[in-house]
Chains A and B, each alone.
Chain A
């Protein structure tokens, strides 16, 4: 069953339509919220709340448009809201060694990969929630700036400003964590 059919079922009161959407998007929703919130339990709560919102608001959804962008917009906004209500900055307590491979055919490449990943983790954790949200939307969900603007209900200029400051901060953090990486990051 495709998304549009599932939504039509849900609009007709058949909760089986929601089941299809949950199975299809629950993982990506949790991963998106997790990247923003840096907390798995909170991300799972956000995902569940987002599907409840879909259930409540499905009659507002125009099924001529794709479901995924609408749904992920709900997820991102709920993640932002969740971070605001907690008023805490959550960080991941993970170091580079957690991701070092045990045995590898190309140890040098995999070591560099793991180190880069660890640097990204630390740098992400040091960003504000709002800055993480634009980075996640741009680079994980592949949103265009205009789509981010629509998602967070902010003018395009504001999104550009937020993206600019997020990338500027990320660049600074990457430099601090591992000199040499950040200079190659493009500022669109």
Chain B
């Protein structure tokens, strides 16, 4: 059967099974009519997630491990290279002032440095405005988000602001060019500030405890119009395949933006479980750890190979010559369901590394306590070891070295 026959049969099947006399006009009109009253509510989950992260960082509830150790060499590099745009816009509503000091954009992400001050009379004792604010990036003059998400981090890189929000272009990567965007900070109202569970616990379904719901009077929506320029990225298609331990891994694409490098890896799955590559990157001696991971294909039971997009917070400098991408191993995702047998297996694996922990299933999920660990091993490193012990591993190693243009 040739391509033309395949095309012919697909068309025939579609025409036979789906009649051409359908009319969904009324159904679509009805849906639009019903939906218009609730359109604004659709952003609620996103706001809650952002608020949760903010709340954890500055609300005094606790700090998620990933942020404790977060440094961003990519953003540090673009600041050093003078690629960050000065914004210096300020707005005051109901006694609360939001100032946007700087912003940076490339084809991988947008970073905005800002600060909130005033409104202390609205807050509970020792409270902060950040847990009660949300940030969004919209197309100018539109309610549509330019990019989803918005990861709040400690600023640290800019003396004129005390917070930084980074929007990753996970869903759709923009072309290089100049963009008119509205950075929106909404403050006040009722916010849930506990969606991320501390690192030694895992979440379980259930109502959010009252102590994590906070509210103050609604202050307002601060909208800052920004003109941001995204520079042209370097895109390489190495299409290199390395076979190790009977598994092929192909490095399909490398996209290098000044603040972040993103790669696409395709690999055969050792079995039907949810395997991910444990990957790191070196650019001229500077190491970058993954900052984002996404599946290009949706998982399905019959899938035998998988392509993943992995981003790294690593600086790229014009003089860099070599990039090495290393997949140490394939590993399964952290299991959704914990069992005593799994804890026993993990404990044995940890004991081999000199780490002794106790596991416990509690109200909010799994919890562990470190009883003993080798000297010099930090808390976050032990935490990583614990979660690694809960996974299955498939040994590598696959190493890709490419020359940079």
Q: What residues make up the interface of A, taking CB atoms closer than 8 Å to B?
A: 15, 18-19, 22-23, 26-27, 30-32, 34-35, 40, 43-44, 47-48, 51-52, 55-57, 59-60, 80-81, 83-84, 87, 89, 99, 116-117, 120-121, 124, 128-130, 135-136, 139-140, 142, 152-158, 161-162, 165, 174, 181-182, 184-186, 188
Across the interface, which residues of B come within 8 angstroms of A139, CB to CB? 3, 6-7, 10
B18 adjacent to A89 (CB under 8 Å): no
Closest to B28 in A: A51
Q: Find B32's partner among A47, A55, A60, A155 (CB 8 Å cutoff).
A: A55
A35 adjacent to B6 (CB under 8 Å): no
Pairs of residues from A and B, 4 with the lowest C-beta to C-beta distance, nearest first:
A84-B298, A31-B14, A155-B253, A157-B252
Across the interface, which residues of B come within 8 angstroms of A152, CB to CB? 296
Closest to B21 in A: A27
Across the interface, which residues of B come within 8 angstroms of A31, CB to CB? 14-15, 17-18
A22-B28, A26-B22, A120-B9 known; A181-B1 Cβ under 8 A: yes
A89 adjacent to B301 (CB under 8 Å): yes
B264 adjacent to A48 (CB under 8 Å): no
A31-B14, A157-B239, A158-B266 known; A116-B1 Cβ under 8 A: yes
CA distance A140 to B18 in the complex (A): 14
Binds A, one of B94-102, B105-113, B302-310, B367-375: B302-310
Q: Chain B interface secondary structure, helix, strand, loop or mixed? A: mixed
Q: How far is the CB of A99 from chain B (nearest CB, A)?
A: 8
CA distance A113 to B294 in the complex (A): 42
Across the interface, which residues of A come within 8 angstroms of B27, CB to CB? 48
Q: How far is the CB of B280 from chain A (nearest CB, A)?
A: 21
A130 adjacent to B297 (CB under 8 Å): yes
CA distance A152 to B13 in the complex (A): 23
A161 adjacent to B252 (CB under 8 Å): yes
Closest to B250 in A: A161
Q: How far is the CB of A71 from chain B (nearest CB, A)?
A: 13
Q: How far is the CB of A181 from chain B (nearest CB, A)?
A: 5
Q: How far is the CB of A136 from chain B (nearest CB, A)?
A: 7
B253 adjacent to A60 (CB under 8 Å): no
A185 adjacent to B266 (CB under 8 Å): no
B2 adjacent to A120 (CB under 8 Å): no
Across the interface, which residues of A come within 8 angstroms of B17, CB to CB? 31, 34, 40
A57-B144, A153-B172 known; A117-B7 Cβ under 8 A: no
Q: Find B31's partner among A52, A120, A155 (CB 8 Å cutoff).
A: A52
A23 adjacent to B25 (CB under 8 Å): yes
Interface residue B11 (Cβ < 8 Å from any Cβ of A): yes
Closest to B6 in A: A139
A120-B10, A129-B298, A153-B172 known; A18-B28 Cβ under 8 A: yes
Interface residue B237 (Cβ < 8 Å from any Cβ of A): yes
CA distance A1 to B196 in the complex (A): 51
B300 adjacent to A129 (CB under 8 Å): yes
Closest to B3 in A: A186
Q: Report how many residues on chain B are interfacial, defined by Cβ distance under 8 Å.
A: 51
B10 adjacent to A22 (CB under 8 Å): no
Across the interface, which residues of B come within 8 angstroms of A40, CB to CB? 17-18
CA distance A128 to B299 in the complex (A): 10
Across the interface, which residues of A come within 8 angstroms of B301, CB to CB? 89
A185 adjacent to B264 (CB under 8 Å): no
Q: How far is the CB of B143 from chain A (nearest CB, A)?
A: 9
Across the interface, which residues of B come within 8 angstroms of A43, CB to CB? 18
Across the interface, which residues of B come within 8 angstroms of A129, CB to CB? 298, 300
A117 adjacent to B13 (CB under 8 Å): yes
B300 adjacent to A89 (CB under 8 Å): yes
A161 adjacent to B307 (CB under 8 Å): yes
B3 adjacent to A185 (CB under 8 Å): yes
Q: A157-B253, A158-B252, A161-B252 are in contact. List 11 more A-B contacts (CB 8 A).
A: A44-B24, A48-B28, A84-B299, A89-B301, A116-B9, A154-B307, A157-B250, A157-B264, A158-B266, A165-B304, A184-B2
CA distance A80 to B296 in the complex (A): 11
A23-B25, A27-B20 known; A130-B298 Cβ under 8 A: yes
Q: How far is the CB of A35 from chain B (nearest CB, A)?
A: 6
CA distance A140 to B11 in the complex (A): 6
A161 adjacent to B2 (CB under 8 Å): no
Interface residue B40 (Cβ < 8 Å from any Cβ of A): no
CA distance A162 to B4 in the complex (A): 20
B307 adjacent to A121 (CB under 8 Å): no
A128 adjacent to B303 (CB under 8 Å): yes
B296 adjacent to A154 (CB under 8 Å): yes
Interface residue B91 (Cβ < 8 Å from any Cβ of A): no
B13 adjacent to A52 (CB under 8 Å): no
Q: Which of A44, A60, A157 has the most CB of B within 10 A?
A: A157
A157-B237, A185-B6 known; A48-B303 Cβ under 8 A: no
Interface residue B5 (Cβ < 8 Å from any Cβ of A): yes
A27 adjacent to B6 (CB under 8 Å): no
Q: Would you list 21 pairs from A and B whose C-beta atoms are within 8 A, ordered by A residue?
A: A26-B23, A27-B20, A51-B24, A51-B28, A81-B298, A89-B302, A117-B9, A117-B12, A124-B13, A128-B300, A128-B303, A129-B298, A135-B10, A140-B7, A155-B237, A157-B237, A157-B264, A158-B266, A161-B252, A184-B1, A185-B1
One digit per residue, 1 when the CB lies within 8 angstroms of any chain A CB and 0 when it does not, for chain B 29-43 equals 101100100000000
Across the interface, which residues of A come within 8 angstroms of B115, CB to CB? none
Across the interface, which residues of A come within 8 angstroms of B303, CB to CB? 128, 130
B10 adjacent to A136 (CB under 8 Å): yes
